[in-house]
Amino acid sequence: MVQLDVKVTDQNGRPVSGLTKDDFAIYEDRVSQIIESVSSDVAPVSMGLVIDTSGSMRPKLRTVSDAARDLIRQMRPDDEAFLVQFKTEADLIQEFTSNRRGLEDALGDLYAGGGTALLDAIIATADHANEKGRRRKKALVVITDGLDKNSSMKEKEVIAAMKEDEVQVYLVGFVDEEESGGFFSRSPAKKAKQLLTRLAEDSGGRAFFPTGVSEMPAIAAQIAKELRAQYVISYYPSNTRHDGSFRSVRVTVNNRKLIAQTRQGYYAPDDRKEPQGAGYKRQLF
């Protein structure tokens, strides 16, 4: 059985509830699938809080920590979360726990300084969520302000790893619009925004670009709401081969005014060897 976490919104971006199995259609590699069930029950989450603590984050760190604290306080008893700070390397501050007080206390251990290796941090934390998270539903909330200058990984490697890890990514980017790339080239800021948006949307998550730290409380509340306001759609694939191939998935809503969003797809089990994409694994902590 394949289970997809699906977010449905109207044209104004507001979550839509009350839909049933008859309202959805699923296509795997462009082939229509029979939906087994649709549930809107609130599922527990294994969540990673991933905070950029490079030097330029110093003036924002207190507000960002407060926003992370808001997310922690909205955790339910069966949720769990871990905390990572990253500069040129990712540093695990608090392992997975359901103890909200412990997570809040760990935020006091964050300190700013150094460069930014965003892509490396995303791969490391997505791997960690996939391997250590005990809940079926897994998500990362990544808060950063820097253009990635120190990662050894490339975008295609991150996207391959994200497909394999099946982790939703919510990215909050404080991107400096004044950075310029010249008349004939895209600015670094625009490239950064496009990259963050692709990574988030490909995973079934979302990217936010606040213009100031004052927007962080509202963004934290929106992320918490979106993590809860999702459907779980289950189906048995018509393609039963266990060949390790990647299967693209598309979900649509019969009402064309509504928008369904989920991850790009999944890797089929492989009875012969490791799943494709395993070569992109990178354990940093």
CATH number of residue 130's parent domain: 3.40.50.410
The reply to whether 171 falls in a domain is yes
CB count, 10 Å around CB of 149? 12
The values of phi and psi at residue 203, to 5°, are: -90, -5
The reply to whether 184 falls in a domain is yes
Task: For residue 274, give its domain range.
Answer: 2-41+231-241+248-280
Assess whether 99 and 140 both reside in one domain: yes
pLDDT in tens, 6-36: 999 999 888 898 999 999 999 999 999 999 9
Q: Which of 184, 200, 228 is the last residue of a domain?
A: 228
pLDDT in tens, 206-236: 999 998 888 988 999 889 888 888 899 999 9
In the structure encoding, which two tokens stand for residue 104, read together?
Answer: 């809040």
Asked if residues 73 and 166 have their Cβ atoms less than 8 Å apart, the reply is no
Q: Round to whole Å and give the CA distance between 120 and 168.
A: 17
Assess whether 170 and 268 both reside in one domain: no
Assess whether 127 and 21 both reside in one domain: no
The reply to whether 285 falls in a domain is no
How many structural domains is the chain composed of? Answer: 2
Assess whether 203 and 236 both reside in one domain: no
How much is the mean pLDDT over the chain? Answer: 88
Assess whether 123 and 168 both reside in one domain: yes
* Residue 42 confidence class, pLDDT cut points 50, 70, 90: confident
Assess whether 150 and 235 both reside in one domain: no
The reply to whether 131 falls in a domain is yes
Q: Round to whole Å and give the CA distance between 144 and 177.
A: 14
Assess whether 219 and 237 both reside in one domain: no
The reply to whether 26 falls in a domain is yes
Block residue for tokens 């412990």: 102
Assess whether 171 and 33 both reside in one domain: no
Asked if residues 90 and 125 have their Cβ atoms less than 8 Å apart, the reply is yes
In the structure encoding, which two tokens stand for residue 182, read together?
Answer: 């010249």
What is the model's pLDDT at position 162?
82
Per 3-state DSSP, the chain is made up of helix, strand and coil in percentages (nearest 5) of 30, 30, 40
Asked if residues 145 and 52 have their Cβ atoms less than 8 Å apart, the reply is yes
49: enclosing H helix or E strand: strand 45-52
Q: Round to whole Å and give the CA distance between 111 and 57.
A: 9
E strands, the chain, are: 2-9, 24-28, 31-33, 35-39, 45-52, 80-86, 90-97, 137-144, 168-173, 206-208, 231-235, 246-253, 259-261, 265-267
DSSP state of 269: P
Predicted confidence (pLDDT) at residue 198 exceeds the cutoff of 50? yes
Asked if residues 122 and 60 have their Cβ atoms less than 8 Å apart, the reply is no
Assess whether 57 and 161 both reside in one domain: yes
Predicted confidence (pLDDT) at residue 83 exceeds the cutoff of 70? yes
Assess whether 101 and 143 both reside in one domain: yes
What is the model's pLDDT at position 208?
94
Assess whether 85 and 216 both reside in one domain: yes
Asked if residues 105 and 69 have their Cβ atoms less than 8 Å apart, the reply is no
Assess whether 86 and 206 both reside in one domain: yes
